[in-house]
Chain A
Amino acid sequence: MWELAGRADISIAFPPFSKVAVAFVSMLFNGEFTAAYADSLPPLLIGLCITIIGGVIIGVSIGLVRSTEWFIMPLLIIFQTAPVSALIPMLTYIYGISDTAKVVAIVILGMPLVALNSYKGIQATSPSLLEMAKSFRASWFDTILFVILPSAQKMIFAGLRLGVSGAFIGIVLAELLITPTGIGDLITYNRFVAHYDKMFATIVSILAVAGLTLGGMSKLEDLLFPSEKNE
């Protein structure tokens, strides 16, 4: 499909698949990808760690301790619905053109999703299971460990997948809008110099990295919680 559409001469900005594939391979070996990812991956990884760990901790704690709910929930919902690209110039203003700005953009895009889903997962714990734990006088800690967390596990992982996608959007947005480095720069630069095959190759590469990361997470989930597979 793509090959046909590209060959059909609709626009020079839309190269056929074969050309993109060639560009992809050449960029993979001539160091262009390596250089770009060397710039993009460190802030992405830091951002992902903060997103995942912070998001789960925030989500789980507001799920467990109701008194924090009124304070954190509105913030999360605002961040989840806000047009984040509008916030990005503000980030540039605060953090300058730096890796910190990238990390913050990732966290803003990813963390609310992780936190909200973790929270919802905790909230969705069956009241009857909680009552059961209480009737057997399970401690608060045991109830969380053996009842609440396993029951929220699916939602938490769904949130992590959404959060990781959000983080990828964050890094590309930040590099497109704030700091012309890394992957974002590779995309912008190739567009300016009309190397559309290279631009698409870069986009394909980031999609592939994101896809592989998400696939790896699903595998990890199956590995960690094999019993869920039986359902």
Chain B
Amino acid sequence: MDDIILKTEDVGVIYDRSIVALENVSLNVPTGKLTAILGPSGCGKTTLLKVIAGLIEPSSGTVKIRDKETIGPGPDRALVFQDFALLPWATVLQNVAFGLRAQGVSKREREKTSLTYIKEVGLSGFEDKYPHQLSGGMRQRTGLARALTVNSEILLMDEPFSAVDEQMRRKLQEDLLELLKIENKTVIFVTHSIEEAVYLADQVVILSGRPGSIAEIVYPEIDRLGEIDLIRRQPRYVELVDEIWSSLKSYVE
């Protein structure tokens, strides 16, 4: 049995008193693993991630980290945003350092830490560039570096690669896997791409739409120890993508 770092218990979210976005979501997230939340658009997957991040208060149920109930954002979780959420008037370095600045870390200290992570995500040389001077992929690397600086155990990613083109997405996915070999993180990420979920995740949580609830949980058990670019050729990978698609089909009109 894996060690569970985070769990949601019967989480439900109701908007405007009548729109049920999530219903009875109980989910266990194992430590150090990658959990993907997969589902058609409008199924509440981003809502679930934001509940976990502490940005949305659930109407019912709780989020527990190491069996302790948590309310609101905490130092144990860092979020990577779908739209990058970079400050347009700040340089890459200033953006990456934002999380540390918010925690009151001194300028010298936060710049030192930030530079380490800027290097780690492959953005060396771009420290003084502004977001509008960067490609989508580089912007998301900036967002990722910012989330890494605060050194939280859990990394939450909201469709992190959906706003970049296909080639860049593959590159970012591969780099993420490489990065996670160095950084010991628990990752929860939201995606609408079956391929992405199977490729990256140890646990794929499939949400059905309206109201969002867990339809199925799949464990890809794909061997990621070897060459990363060989993953997509494994028979198990191809099989799983097909399998998940056939079960997801019923929720997509």
With A137-B102, A137-B103 already in contact, the answer to whether A228 and B89 are too (CB < 8 A) is: yes
Q: Is A9 an interface residue (CB 8 A)?
A: no
Q: Is A72 an interface residue (CB 8 A)?
A: no
Interface bracket on A: 20 to 34
Give the chain A neighbours of B79 by CB distance below 8 A. 132, 135
| Contact pattern, B 102-134, Cβ under 8 Å of A = 1, otherwise 0 | 110000000000000000000000000010110
B195 to chain A, nearest CB (A): 26
Q: Are B55 and A150 in contact (CB under 8 A)?
A: no
How many of B's residues come within 8 Å of A, CB to CB? 26
With A128-B85, A230-B132, A230-B133 already in contact, the answer to whether A135 and B98 are too (CB < 8 A) is: no
Q: How far is the CA of A96 from the CA of B30 in the complex (A)?
A: 77
Q: How far is the CA of A230 from the CA of B103 in the complex (A)?
A: 29
Q: Decide if the interface of chain A is mainly helix, strand, loop or mixed.
A: helix
**Which of A128, A131, A133, A150 contacts B89, CB < 8 Å?**
A150
Q: How far is the CA of A146 from the CA of B90 in the complex (A)?
A: 9
Q: Decide if the interface of chain B is mainly helix, strand, loop or mixed.
A: loop
Q: Is B150 an interface residue (CB 8 A)?
A: yes
Q: Are B78 and A135 in contact (CB under 8 A)?
A: yes
Give the chain B neighbours of A137 by CB distance below 8 A. 73-75, 102-103
- The chain B residue sitting closest to A138, CB to CB, is B102
Give the chain B neighbours of A131 by CB distance below 8 A. 55, 81, 85
Q: Are A136 and B98 in contact (CB under 8 A)?
A: yes
Give the chain A neighbours of B90 by CB distance below 8 A. 150, 227
Q: Are A133 and B130 in contact (CB under 8 A)?
A: no
Give the chain B neighbours of A147 by CB distance below 8 A. 87
Q: Is B53 an interface residue (CB 8 A)?
A: yes
Q: Is A95 an interface residue (CB 8 A)?
A: no
8 Å CB interface, B61-88 against A? 73-75, 77-79, 81, 83, 85, 87-88
Q: How far is the CA of A137 from the CA of B75 in the complex (A)?
A: 8
Q: Is A142 an interface residue (CB 8 A)?
A: yes
| Contact pattern, A 210-231, Cβ under 8 Å of B = 1, otherwise 0 | 0000000000000001011011
Q: Are A132 and B73 in contact (CB under 8 A)?
A: no
A228 to chain B, nearest CB (A): 7
Q: Is B169 an interface residue (CB 8 A)?
A: no
Q: Is B101 an interface residue (CB 8 A)?
A: yes
Give the chain B neighbours of A231 by CB distance below 8 A. 88, 130, 132
Considering residues B79, B87, B103, which has the most beta carbons from chain A within 10 angstroms of its beta carbon?
B87
Q: Are B83 and A134 in contact (CB under 8 A)?
A: no
B53 to chain A, nearest CB (A): 6
Considering residues B85, B90, B130, which has the most beta carbons from chain A within 10 angstroms of its beta carbon?
B85
B185 to chain A, nearest CB (A): 16
Give the chain A neighbours of B44 by CB distance below 8 A. none
Give the chain A neighbours of B101 by CB distance below 8 A. 138, 142, 146
Q: How far is the CA of A147 from the CA of B91 in the complex (A)?
A: 14
Q: Is A129 an interface residue (CB 8 A)?
A: yes
Q: Is B212 an interface residue (CB 8 A)?
A: no
Q: Are B89 and A225 in contact (CB under 8 A)?
A: yes
Q: How far is the CA of A153 from the CA of B74 in the complex (A)?
A: 30
Give the chain B neighbours of A136 by CB distance below 8 A. 73, 78, 98-99, 102-103, 150
Considering residues A132, A137, A228, A230, which has the most beta carbons from chain B within 10 angstroms of its beta carbon?
A132
Q: How far is the CA of A133 from the CA of B99 in the complex (A)?
A: 8
With A132-B81, A135-B79, A137-B73 already in contact, the answer to whether A227 and B89 are too (CB < 8 A) is: yes
8 Å CB interface, A109-132 against B? 126, 128-129, 131-132
Q: Is A11 an interface residue (CB 8 A)?
A: no
Considering residues A126, A128, A134, A136, which has the most beta carbons from chain B within 10 angstroms of its beta carbon?
A136
Q: Which 5 A-B pairs have the closest CB atoms?
A: A138-B102, A132-B85, A136-B99, A135-B79, A136-B102
> Given A126-B85, A230-B133, 17 more contacts at CB 8 Å?
A128-B81, A131-B81, A131-B85, A133-B102, A134-B73, A135-B53, A135-B77, A136-B150, A137-B102, A138-B98, A146-B98, A146-B101, A147-B87, A150-B87, A230-B132, A231-B130, A231-B132
